Structure 1
């Protein structure tokens, strides 16, 4: 799940300067779960813009803004998108990029894209993956230290962790404490004795 945070309206309004007809595109997957682009958020933005005197010609909520297939059905069912002179996408950077690649009018996103995370029960977990292109999460029993450690330590904890707590965020558990605890329960601690080379950032 892509983790996003809604931009304040003050950051969106400059993009609308000189634009007369606005169309809003939400995202009914990640952004909906994050409450940054589902139907309630789309309607709230529509109300805010209308109250501010902007002409919102329409809105749509495709399954996923990042899917070209979703856009095809979006355009077929929402002809008013062709009447717009700008589009606001309430999704992640990927969704905004896909919509922008298919339109000849200005497109911008209303969210900041933070990371790749997930949802465990009712809780959103923000940092689960950094999309590094050099994945070795299996070496750590499914917990990525590159994403979950503020220092991206891949060969064990730093010298600042204490009593299982992170030095950077003292209220958070050190990811290496969690890794060692899980690998101990799986009887796979010896794997951690192998030194990992630095991440290959060229990929």
Structure 2
């Protein structure tokens, strides 16, 4: 699941300062789960834009904004998109990019794309994956240190880890403590003996 957060309304208005007839597109998958682009958020955005003097010509809530097949499929959902001078997308960067490929008018993001996360037992887990293209989580008990360690450490915890807590964020469990517990649980502590080189396609990665 893509983790997104809303841009400030002030920033959104600034990007739309030269736009009048606006069409809003949400996302009924990730953004809806994050409450950054579901039906209620889209309707609230439309109302706030109208209150700020903008003309909202309509809105749609696709199932997966990142996987829309064609512009025509959006027209079928709401023909008023043809009246738009610009489109505001309440989805992740991928969804916004797809809309920009389909539309012939300017497309603007309403959200910031923060990370690739997930939901477990109703709780949202941020930054589960760094999408580095070289997945090695099997060596870490299914937990990604590249994404979940603030220092990106691949060969054990830093010297600042205290009491199982992260040095950078003391309110957070050290991911290497979690990796150790997981490997111990599945009987694979031997994996801790492996030494990993830095991942070349991950910026600022440390070992």
TM-score, normalised to structure 1, is 0.96
1:163 equivalent in structure 2: 163
1:9 equivalent in structure 2: 9
1:152 equivalent in structure 2: 152
Alignment of 1:114-125 (within 5 A): 114-125=114-125
Cα offset, 1:175, TM superposition? 0.4
2:26/2:37 contact within 8 Å kept: yes
Cα offset, 1:170, TM superposition? 0.9
The answer for unaligned runs of 5 or more in structure 1 is none
RMSD: 1.4
2:47 equivalent in structure 1: 47
1:64/1:70 contact within 8 Å kept: no
Alpha-carbon distance in 2 for matches of 1:168, 1:182: 22
1:177 equivalent in structure 2: 177
User: What do residues 23-44 of structure 1 show as CA deviations (whole Å, max 9, x unaligned)?
Assistant: 0000000000000000000000
Alpha-carbon distance in 2 for matches of 1:197, 1:136: 12
1:6/1:112 contact within 8 Å kept: yes
Helix, strand or coil for the counterpart of 2:66? Answer: coil
Worse-matched range after superposition: 183-192 or 70-79: 70-79
Worse-matched range after superposition: 10-19 or 124-133: 10-19
Q: Report the CA distance shift for 1:189/1:73 in structure 2 as closer, same or farther (over 3 A).
A: same
2:86 equivalent in structure 1: 86
What is the total number of aligned residue pairs between the two structures? Answer: 203
1:62/1:70 contact within 8 Å kept: no
User: What do residues 116-173 of structure 1 show as CA deviations (whole Å, max 9, x unaligned)?
Assistant: 0001112111110011111111111110000010101011011110111111111111
Alpha-carbon distance in 1 for matches of 2:92, 2:98: 10
2:20 equivalent in structure 1: 20
Cα offset, 1:18, TM superposition? 2.3
TM-score, normalised to structure 2, is 0.94
Alignment of 1:129-148 (within 5 A): 129-148=129-148
The answer for unaligned runs of 5 or more in structure 2 is none
Alpha-carbon distance in 2 for matches of 1:52, 1:163: 50
1:139/1:191 contact within 8 Å kept: yes
